[in-house]
Amino acid sequence: MPKSVIIDPRQVCQPGWLELGRIPLNQYVPDFERERQHFGDAGLRRIYRDMVLIREFETMLHQIKTQGGYGGMACQHQGPAHLSIGQEAAVVGQCAALEIDDLVYGSHRSHGEILAKCFAALVKLDETRLLEVMRDYDGGVCLRMVEQDPHSSVHDLAVSFALYGTLAEILGRASGFNRGLGGSMHAFFAPFGSMPNNAIVGGSADIAVGAALFKRIHRRPGIVIANIGDGSLGCGPVWEAIMLASMEQYRRLWDPDGGGAPPVLFNILNNFYGMGGQTAGETMGFEILARAGAGVNPHNLHAERVNGCNPLAVAEATQRQRHRLLAGMGPALLDVVTYRFSGHSPSDTSSYRTREEMDLWREVDGIRAYGDYLEKHGLLSAAEREQWQREAAERLGRVLRRAASLETAPRVEPESIGRVMFSGGRGLAVAQGTPEVLIPLAENPRVKSLQEKARFAFDADGRPLPKSKVLSLRDALFEALIERFYADPTLVAWGEENRDWGGAFGVYRGLTESLPYHRLFNTPISEGAIVGAAVGYALSGGRVVAEIMYCDFLGRAGDEVFNQMAKWQAMSAGLLRLPLVLRVSIGSKYGAQHSQDWSSWVAHVPGLKAMYPVTPYDAKGMLRQALLGSDPVVFFESQKIYDLGESFVAGGVPRQPYEVPEGEPVVRRSGRDLTIITLGPTLYKALEAADCLAQRYQVSAEVIDLRFLNPLNYEPLVESVRKTGRVVLASDACERGSFLNDVAANLTQLAFDDLDAPPAVVGARNWITPPAEMESAFYPQAEWIIDTIHERLLPLPGHQVTTDRSLGELARRARQGV
């Protein structure tokens, strides 16, 4: 309990000096005999060969991009190719220190990392196992392409396999490692520990922390590396990731037998330029990147600078950090000094650096220097160096021939992309085992207290019960969650104030008593890392519920939600699953930055499921629905109604688990004359409007609660609109760009001939949210709905409008931008 850690003013106000400790810079000292003993002759020679192969691979891509072919073979490639020519030693050296279980997440410039990790991993497997991996991968499509050429051994074949799978992926072919759907910047090959590479600068940092948390929580072997660039030190989510990875609670509060901090290495491939901005001299102030470690924790993240032009220096440093991480002493940081001779991309003319600088680095080119080192010690001859260079070019020529032709290596059928957007799995996540809990479910204090509560908001005579006696929406969410926590061993939850406090809105109250720290913990105020780490945890095979306290903070996790959570299932061509539920609470009364319904953003981005329950029955059934699936779900909740009891489903909220069918809107009240479709708590305003329409104007309104944004079944909506001929749609989202406009447009298409008027959307004003006392001027009210019906659908005899819902006003607001 953090309550046990007393913050004592006498202590924190003590005068003194903070000693930062020393950070080693390039302390590697060559010791050939020791290295020979460690890596063996073959290992040392392989490091050279791998570097040569990677450089030739990147050179080939450069020629394809700039000359339209390689080695006499024509090949066109329109997509990206961020080459790492010059950085080979940094990645081959790293992988020389790694096992297959060690996972490497990378960046947009990671072709070399994929190849280096694959080359290093494949020698650790025997022929049978190696062949099995290649055969099993995506039905053996990739293997069938390479095995058409003769190879001297299974391991030799596997080298071509890695080159081919990566190249075909870059060229967007169905036989690529990710069926061409990831491409150059997202390719990976998980069986060898090469994990998703990320086109967003620094994007791998928080994902890697999540993957490390998975290893830590489930006691899996190996470490996780985030290969990110020096430019990414300017990215907020990278710092968030570092903060999340270095939380004191791992050492102080978590189970001491658990293994310490998550084993993650922030490996900064420091080539001194973030695209064209010089990080050390121009765009940042750290001077020496390794200094960044000093800002994080007492051991400076074990930061050190290492010469990335020497593979053996990198291997030694990586190994040192790996031992620390496996001992639970992480996280760690390496400032790996390197240099890319190639431009950022083929269009880069290197206008930001001098020829003189580039020449200086060419003189210390890692491949040549390391070749000389081996030659000096008699491990490699000049003739061999020439021969290996020639063989690399020949091998790549063969690999390209199998990948370049669209006849033999076609792209995927476009419609197949639709089939990998969601994985659609049901049931438990991959990790088996017994869920770790602290007490039996029946002894949980909140479970016990909920036993006493009424499950329906009204008594037998239809009179409302006091709120304190009724199971509320927040209780219903708790019931769904705790049931899964006792059933699903991989399920964990994290976010701000999740433990002890019980979540800012009391949904998690009672979970602390049942769950050990590693299944429920507080994070720093780092929305980006909260979601990014959840992505990493989920794609490692776990299930996670992450929380964004206010929908307004979604912007802080924008990249993680819209680029990471939404995309990885499809960018992996369905190889990855993402069982991740992101609870997002929509506020009110707290002004402009705490009261916004941003569900429309989420609905707009492909790859996310989105739901928004507003009754306790739905809250429990839909959360279970989300927690049993294998897809990323953004689960919206409204702070306006956490204390509401169930008032629709007779019999109230069932005690036993149940699911609400995915994508199905629900008719809350049936009617004849018009349809009101709502999303979110506006349902209750719509019911008020429906009462008024019936009493004052004898108009019978059907009220439908959308519940789901995506996927969404339009059939019940169309059926209702066909019947009534009129539809108004309302939600708390600002009207411009509201998802309801999408629903309205689709209903116009689907039921045009049955419409008596065009569908009308009622949203919140396109303003900031005003003070709590003025919210009725901002969020849709029952009267707005009736006025809209009167003005745009069906003039109501004798109705006096109180708001201007005319078309002229609609046009005026649009013109004014409000």
Partner 1 sequence: MPTPVILPRQGNTVESCVIVRWLKPVGTEVRAGEPLVEIETDKAAMEVESPATGVVIELLFPEGANVEVLQPIAWIGALGEKPAPPDASPAPPAGTESPLPLAPSEPKLALPSVPSSQRRLPAISPRAARLASALAVNLDQVTGTGPQGRIIERDVQAALAQRTPGGRTIPAATPALVKAEEPARPLKGEAESATAPNRSAAPDFPGPKREVPLTSTRRVIAERMRQSLDQTAQVTLHAAADISGMVLLRHRLNAERQAAGREKYRVNDFVLLAVSRVLPEFPALNAHGLADRVLEFESAHLGMAVDTPRGLLAPVIRFAERLEFEALATEARRLANACRDGTVHPEELQGGTFTVTNLGSLGIETFTPILNAPEVAILGVGGIQYRPHPDQPAPPVPHLLFSLTFDHRVLDGAAGARFLRRLAEVLAKIDVLLAGPRSESETSQ
Catalytic site residues? 594
Report the nearest approach of partner 1 to the CB of residue 736 (Å): 21
CA 812 to chain CA mean position, Å: 40
The one segment of 83-91, 322-330, 723-731, 764-772 that binds partner 1 by CB under 8 A: 723-731
> In this structure, which amino acid lies at residue 576?
L
Q: Which of 725, 759, 763, 780 binds partner 1 (CB under 8 A)?
A: 725
What is the C-alpha separation between 369 and 254, in angstroms, rounded? 46
Cα→Cα distances 39→33, 44, 54, Å: 10, 6, 20
Cα torsion at 586, 589, 593, 599 (round to 10°)? 20
Among the listed ranges 397-405, 454-462, 643-651, 786-794, the one in contact with partner 1 (CB under 8 A) is 786-794
Q: Where are the alpha helices (DSSP H) in 540-574?
A: 558-559, 568-571
Q: Check: CB of residue 702 under 8 Å from CB of residue 667.
A: yes
Among the listed ranges 33-41, 164-172, 557-565, 719-727, the one in contact with partner 1 (CB under 8 A) is 719-727
Given the complex with partner 1, which of 376 and 696 has the nearer CB atom? 696
Q: Smallest gap, in angstroms, from Cβ of residue 755 to partner 1?
A: 5
Q: Which stretch binds partner 1 (CB under 8 A): 26-34, 113-121, 718-726, 810-818?
A: 718-726
Among positive and negative, which fits the CA dihedral 593, 598, 661, 632?
negative
Q: Is 791 in the site for partner 1 (CB under 8 A)?
A: yes
Between residues 658 and 752, which has the closer beta carbon with respect to partner 1? 752
x/- map, 743-782, partner 1, by CB under 8 A: ---------xxxxxx-------------------------
Note whether 792 binds partner 1 by CB under 8 A. Answer: yes
700 binds partner 1 (CB under 8 A): yes
Report how far residue 574's alpha carbon sits from residue 139's, in angstroms, rounded to the nearest whole number: 13
**DSSP for residue 434:** P
CB of 752 to partner 1, least distance (A): 6
Decide: 345 and 80 in contact? Cβ < 8 Å. yes
Q: How many residues sit close enough to partner 1 to count as binding (CB under 8 A)?
A: 23
Cβ distance to partner 1 smaller for residue 148 or 749: 749
Looking at the DSSP assignment, which residues form a beta bridge with residue 762?
A: 730
The minimum distance between CB 675 and partner 1, in angstroms, equals 13
Tell the smallest beta-carbon distance from residue 784 to partner 1 (Å): 16
Q: Which is nearer to partner 1, 21 or 795 (CB)?
A: 795
Smallest gap, in angstroms, from Cβ of residue 610 to partner 1? 31
Closest approach of partner 1 to the CB of residue 543, in Å = 29
- The closest of 45, 83, 87, 58 to 309, measured between CA atoms, is 87
* Binding test (CB under 8 A) with partner 1, winner from 153, 795, 802, 814: 795
* Shortest spacing between CB 413 and partner 1, in angstroms: 11
Q: Which of 699, 729, 743, 786 binds partner 1 (CB under 8 A)?
A: 699
Greatest distance between any 2 Cα atoms in the chain: 101
Phi, psi of 717 (to 5 degrees): -70, -45
For partner 1, the closer CB: 807 or 814: 807
Q: 797, 800, 815, 816: which one contacts partner 1 (CB under 8 A)?
A: 797
Per DSSP bridges, beta strands 580-586 and 633-638 are: parallel
Question: Would you say 555 or 758 has its CB closer to partner 1?
Answer: 758
Instruction: Show the binding pattern over residues 580-599: x = contacts partner 1 (CB under 8 A), - = does not.
Output: --------------------
Burial of 66 (0-12, 13-18, 19+ CB in 10 A): exposed
For residues 215 and 212, give the distance between their C-alpha atoms in angstroms, rounded to a whole number. 5
Say if CB 94 and CB 315 are below 8 A apart.
Answer: yes
Contact pick of 697, 708, 739, 778 for partner 1 (by CB under 8 A): 697
Region 70-109 residues binding partner 1, contact defined as CB under 8 A: none
Identify the residue among 365, 662, 673, 735 touching partner 1 (CB under 8 A).
673
Is residue 608 within 8 Å of residue 634, measured between CB atoms?
A: yes
Comparison of 257 and 753: residue with beta carbon closer to partner 1: 753
- Figure out which of the listed residues 5, 382, 406, 807 binds partner 1, where binding follows CB under 8 A: 807
Tell the smallest beta-carbon distance from residue 717 to partner 1 (Å).
16
Spatial CB neighbours of 418, under 8 Å, sequence gap ≥ 6: none
Token pair for residue 341?
């001779």
Backbone φ, ψ for residue 704 (5° rounding): -120, 130
Residue 173 near residue 409 (C-beta atoms within 8 A): yes
Number of continuous H segments (helices) and E segments (strands) in the chain: 28, 22
Residue 792 beta carbon to partner 1: minimum distance, rounded to whole angstroms:
5
Binding segment for partner 1 (CB under 8 A), chosen from 35-43, 94-102, 736-744, 793-801, is 793-801
Structural contact between residues 532 and 558, judged by C-beta atoms closer than 8 angstroms:
no
Point out which span in 121-129, 328-336, 633-641, 789-797 binds partner 1 (CB under 8 A): 789-797
CB 519 within 8 A of CB 253: no
Between 169 and 791, name the residue whose CB sits nearer to partner 1: 791
Q: Which stretch binds partner 1 (CB under 8 A): 233-241, 313-321, 695-703, 728-736?
A: 695-703
Instruction: Select 124 or 426, whichever has its Cβ closest to partner 1.
Output: 426
The span from the CA of 674 to the CA of 684, in Å, is: 17
| Shorter beta-carbon distance to partner 1: residue 452 or 753 | 753
Taking the C-alpha atoms of residue 15 and residue 295, their distance in angstroms, rounded to an integer, is 20
* CA 135 – CA 739 distance, rounded (Å): 45
Distance from C-alpha of 481 to C-alpha of 620, rounded to nearest angstrom: 8
Binding site for partner 1 (CB under 8 A): 672-673, 697-700, 723-725, 752-757, 791-797, 807
